[in-house]
Amino acid sequence: MSNSPSALKEWAALQTHVEALRDVHMRDLFRDDKNRFHNFHFEMDGLIFDFSRHRATIETIKLLGSLAKACDIEGWRTKMFMGEKINVTEDRAVLHPALRGSCSPSLTIDGENVAEFVNKTLAQMESISKKIRSDKKITDVVNIGIGGSDLGARIVYETLYNFQDGPRVHFLSNVDGARISGILKHLKPDSTIFITTSKTFTTMETMTNAETAKQWAGSAKNFYAVTSNIHAAKKFGVPEDHILPMRDWIGGRVSLWSAAGLPVAIAVGFDNFKKLLSGAKAMDDHFLHAPMVSNIPVMMAMLGVWYRNFWDWNAHVVLPYAHNLRKFPAFIQQLDMESNGKSISRDGEMIDYKTAPALFGETGTNAQHAFMQMLHQGVDILPVDFIIVKEPGHELEDHHKKLNANALAQAQALMQGREKAPAAAYKTFEGNRPSSTLVLDRLDPWHLGLLLALYEHKMFVQGIIWNINSFDQWGVELGKTLANEILGADTAESTDQTTLALMRRLHE
């Protein structure tokens, strides 16, 4: 297969290497290397990335680095930042880093200067967010959008709870009427602003919710739109000066840095939105300039590849020990699984290795009382990312100490297990279960930007290794088409008998 990573000698070297580590316990790795934490962690301003608790030796890291080199991560990184159309199935550039000022100011796409577009849109966001924040009549903002037009702004809004000093923001994504009725019954048309965020302005859920909201409000005069389909937004009735543009080169799931961040700018102020962008830019700079072997997103990505492709493990768990990061796993789920849940290569061939693992997560300590039993004693091994925040952002020190002690204890228990044979077999903890620990100095806009951009680049690197296009999402199309057929009762001959029978029952 052309360009297949599995055909590379660096891939084969890792296949051999994994056998040498198969029976090695991390406890022994720690015993043999008194400097293991020192040797297996990176630090940058505001962030510690610890990867000492992995089934990895210095040799593993070298071999993973060689695979990254052989797959030309550096070359692809340049292509992305230079605006090459690396999303080939949609013929689009992938330029979310440009939204935080990380690309060349002279870069043009389809005849338009990218930096000028970004700055103009930021100026528009600034004036709109200031206007809405200073209008004391406005108490509520409803963002109508789904997928990337919802999750990014939502995670930032919820995480920056301590910074919210504008109107309340509600995120309306599901087409389930229960959600919109639940929101609207507490609101009044005169004090509510709607932002319809939809790159295409055609997404069924979003347009259905937007139409219902417009009827409730009586007109679209209090509507704003964030879209690349300006024509459709105007047709919907959104006033022209309330429309903020998107571009093809802004992928939905990486769009929170664009005008899709308007609800955030309204809730926490434009200056805080700019700090979010500069945190992300700091990560872009690290990703661009740190050598492969000490590059945090590259190392995170390669450890994921290590477990997925060489240990054959199927899932990855993200555990933020911060209540305000409770939506983070859902955001990362879309980022990783919509981007890298693919089985056709960039060359259009069926691939013969695994790609994105199933990803899930929950805040700690809640997860400990829900599913972590399986992580400690289940038959599957699920690598974990622990995310810890150093400074609490509140005065309850005792709570914060307990929260972080739990995070450290879980990572330690997963790694060490219980060495002494227990009296009863059911008390066995074999340990040797890997995790990374990320420590953020604090949960403010800057550090959140840094964290989100880190996971974006990790996703990018994995997509390159797996030789897939991380920036399309054709897998969601068939379901959309069939839903429309079912809605119109326009079933094709190929409609299966169960669908037909259930349709009949639902209409009875």
Supply the residues annotated as catalytic.
Answer: 338, 369, 480
Q: Is 173 in the site for ligand F6P (CB under 6 A)?
A: no
User: Which of residues 212 and 491 has its CB atom nearest to ligand F6P in the complex?
Assistant: 212
Q: Is 476 in the site for ligand F6P (CB under 6 A)?
A: yes
CA 203, 209, 215, 217 dihedral sign is negative
Q: Which of 154, 199, 214, 308 binds ligand F6P (CB under 6 A)?
A: 199
Q: Is 355 in the site for ligand F6P (CB under 6 A)?
A: no
Site size toward ligand F6P, by CB under 6 A: 14
Q: Is 346 in the site for ligand F6P (CB under 6 A)?
A: no
Closest CA to 444 of 507, 408, 487, 392: 392
User: Which of residues 444 and 456 has its CB atom nearest to ligand F6P in the complex?
Assistant: 456
* Stretch in the footprint of ligand F6P (CB under 6 A) among 27-35, 71-79, 140-148, 386-394: 140-148
Give min distance, CB of 146 to ligand F6P, in A: 5
Q: Is 206 in the site for ligand F6P (CB under 6 A)?
A: yes
Q: Return all residues near 99 (Cβ < 8 A) that are at least 6 apart.
A: 118, 250, 257, 258, 277
What residue type is 307 in one-letter code? Y
- Distance linking the first and last C-alpha atoms of the chain: 52
Q: Is 200 in the site for ligand F6P (CB under 6 A)?
A: yes
Q: Which of 66, 203, 258, 462 binds ligand F6P (CB under 6 A)?
A: 203
Cβ atoms of residues 1 and 347 within 8 Å: yes
User: Which of residues 226 and 443 has its CB atom nearest to ligand F6P in the complex?
Assistant: 226
Cβ atoms of residues 505 and 499 within 8 Å: no
Q: Is 473 in the site for ligand F6P (CB under 6 A)?
A: yes
Name all contacts of 225-228 with Cβ < 8 Å and 24+ positions apart. 225/195, 225/196, 225/197, 225/198, 225/201, 226/145, 226/149, 226/195, 226/196, 226/197, 226/198, 226/258, 226/259, 226/260, 226/262, 227/196, 227/197, 227/198, 227/199, 227/200, 227/201, 228/199, 228/200
Binding mask 235-264 for ligand F6P (x = CB under 6 A): -----------------xx-----------
Q: Is 462 in the site for ligand F6P (CB under 6 A)?
A: no
Q: Is 340 in the site for ligand F6P (CB under 6 A)?
A: no
* Stretch in the footprint of ligand F6P (CB under 6 A) among 64-72, 143-151, 371-379, 417-425: 143-151
